[in-house]
A and B are shown apart, each in its own frame.
Chain A
Amino acid sequence: MIDPIITARGVDIFYDTNQAIHNVDLDILPNKVTAFIGPSGCGKSTFLRAINRMNDLIPTCRVTGDMKIAGQDIYAPAVDVVALRAQVGMVFQKPNPFPKSIFENVAYGLKIHKITDSKTEMQDRVEWSLRSAGLWAEVADRLDQPGNSLSGGQQQRLCIARAIAVKPKVILMDEPCSALDPIATAVVEELIDNLRKDYTIVIVTHSMQQAARVSQRTAFFHLGTLVEFGDTKTIFTTPEDERTQNYITGRIG
């Protein structure tokens, strides 16, 4: 049995008095892709954002329960969110490169964390990140062009390169392919599979096919509760819960 990297025990999340997540217990295993699926508004994105405390930006949002990464409580008062987010990167639904050059986009994380001061090291790291994101061949000759001059799929891979440049342990992806066409989606999915070797990936997706294709573990959320969690194969072939069955066969959702 592998030790989980992220553990959640009895996690409740509230927006004001409105409870979005009810008593979720969940283990995320390292170097696996974990998919969160479920109908809109089921709380899967809320739960994802709780992992790197992006919910802190919403003043009314409150997280209770126990959420640990590598044995450390994410919500302990001593935790610095900056240090947490350096370990838990995030890729958003809509590609959001900074309005700066491709190089600057990838180098930004390195600069703020002062990972390196040497120019050549910085260039090497940017190249490595872009190669890991499978974007290097397409942008090598135009690193000084604005990041938003790329196509949607390329922009999303640029955002992935930006996230992995600081070498996080975990990458959270919030519906990363929902704004992309099927070809760009296929490229990103292949990339996710390659990244699994070095990172733990948690992905929220609306597409059950995508969850089946890219993930090893799947969690099905419904109305703020975790209904079923297990190996992707099991979930998609022999779900235990009726609601899961109904959702994956398209009867609800």
Chain B
Amino acid sequence: MIDLTKKAGLNLNSRHRAEQRFRWAGRSAIAISLMFLTLMVGSIAITASGSLRQTQIAVQVDLSADNVDPSDPASASYGRLIKSGLRSMFPDVTSRRAKKALYNLVSPEGSFEAARMVAENPDLLGGTQTLWLTASDDLDLYLRGKIDITLPEKQRQISEAEVVWIDSLQAADQLRRVANWNFLTNGDSREPEIAGILSALVGSLYSLAVCFALSFPIGIGAAIYLEEFAPANRLSDLIEVNINNLAAVPSIVFGLLGLSIFLGYMGLPRSSPLVGGMVLALMTLPTIIIAARAALRSVPPSFKEAALALGASPVQAVFHHVFPVAMPGMLTGAIIGMAQALGETAPLLMIGMVAFIVDIPDSILEPATALPVQIFLWADSPERAFTEKTAAAIIVLLIFLISMNLIAILLRRKLETRF
């Protein structure tokens, strides 16, 4: 008699329980990691959301011919005009110290903004105009309730008088919040309200371009040679062991190497994306070689055999049949290496890419900084408002990373041959 529902005797119950336990362990591991990921990205995103918008302040600026020469508006002293505009809005401010506090409501960038507005729109000239200028970071923080005004005056960033001014400005509708494009179009600044990510973003892009241009061809070439052509001897084994070891060397060591060889010996420009890219290339090479070799090894040997049996030379067999099939895998390895390079700070510190860079670099030879270094610099800044900038920069870095991975996946889909 066969009883298919019988459970006893075959230890079925405990086997099923073990299966269930394993399944739940796996699911909870995934749930926990997802939770932490959400927590991390969520908290960064919430902090970063503060820098999505910025506060502008309406200032009456006298642009009459007395103050601004209509034939050469760029020569005017807009800073002085903005200050007098502020004074006219609060005529009862007289002491030097109070005036200074009043002027600080507008960002130091305000005078450049005013000059730009006039240059773009000369019709503004000839009378008193209301100009919307970027407000200081403290004003912005106060407006968003980020400054605790119950604290004693000495312990907070803004004084009692400033609170009164800001409240009255708000009551008079002279404050507004606008989208903060500055963050994406400006370089770094000592003033958080106008500090932007663009110089670091461009620096990272240049460095990665150099890194990819160097490490991809060299890495793939080395992998193909080692995997397909190198004789199996002691030297090849030694090289293999060393490549695996190099992949585990701390990245700062590569920075030191770059410092002494690329900067010290070869005399390449310091702080430049060229040197940054070269150092990152050294660092990513082992990763790319290891991944590319794994990709080459996964190609069925039958393709190569078939080509050789037809009379293809070894190089033809590899480049016509093995290489195209391994390409998607090699590309994935390269992108993983690039992603590592994108997030790398330590080696860049060593070669001087930690500089305070305001201007957007125009070439790979100009001083630049990189996204992770910028994050490091901002996280180190004392101004409260930089906390939000730091978080926003992290988000930019993550978006950069995700889009890189996306491109890699799309490329792989396109190249992948089914067999």
Contact A148 B419 (CB under 8 A): yes
Q: A236 in the interface, Cβ–Cβ < 8 Å?
A: no
- Tell me the nearest residue of chain A to B321, going by C-beta: A98
Chain B residues touching A, majority SS: helix
A59 and B236 alpha carbons, distance in the complex (Å): 15
Q: Given the known A-B contacts A59-B232, A146-B418, A148-B418, are A83 and B307 also in contact in the complex, defined by CB atoms under 8 Å?
A: no
What is the number of contacts between chain A and chain B, taking CB atoms within 8 Å? 69
Q: Is the CB of A112 within 8 A of B418?
A: no
Q: Which residues of chain B have C-beta atoms less than 8 A from A52's C-beta?
A: 309
When chains A and B are docked, how far (Å) is the Cα of A166 from the Cα of B312? 12
Q: Chain A contact residues (Cβ within 8 angstroms of B): what range?
A: 20 to 34
Chain A residues with CB under 8 A of B28: none
Interface residues of B in 253-308 (CB under 8 A from A): 300, 302-303, 305-308
Q: How far is the CA of A71 from the CA of B138 in the complex (A)?
A: 95
Instruction: Report A78-100 CB contacts with B as 1/0, cut-off 8 Å.
Output: 00001101100110101011111
Option from B311, B320, B417 in Cβ contact (under 8 Å) with A86: B311
Question: By the criterion CB–CB under 8 Å, are B305 and A96 in contact?
Answer: yes
Report whether B302 and A57 are in contact in the complex, using a CB–CB cutoff of 8 Å. no
In the bound complex, do residue A92 and residue B311 qualify as a contact, i.e. CB atoms below 8 Å apart? no
> Would you call A159 an interface residue if the criterion is a C-beta within 8 Å of the partner chain's C-beta atoms?
yes
Let me know if A159 and B306 touch, CB within 8 A: yes
Can you give 14 contacting A-B residue pairs, CB < 8 Å? A52-B309, A86-B310, A96-B300, A98-B303, A98-B307, A99-B321, A99-B325, A108-B312, A112-B310, A112-B311, A112-B312, A146-B417, A163-B310, A166-B310
Task: List chain B positions with a Cβ less than 8 A from chain A.
Answer: 231-232, 300, 302-303, 305-313, 316, 320-321, 324-325, 417-419
**A residues apposed to B, CB below 8 Å:** 52, 54, 57, 59, 82-83, 85-86, 89-90, 92, 94, 96-100, 108-109, 112-113, 146, 148, 159, 162-163, 166
**15 extra A-B contacts, CB within 8 A, seeds A86-B311, A112-B320:** A52-B309, A85-B311, A86-B310, A89-B310, A90-B309, A96-B306, A99-B321, A99-B419, A108-B307, A108-B312, A109-B310, A112-B310, A112-B311, A162-B310, A166-B310
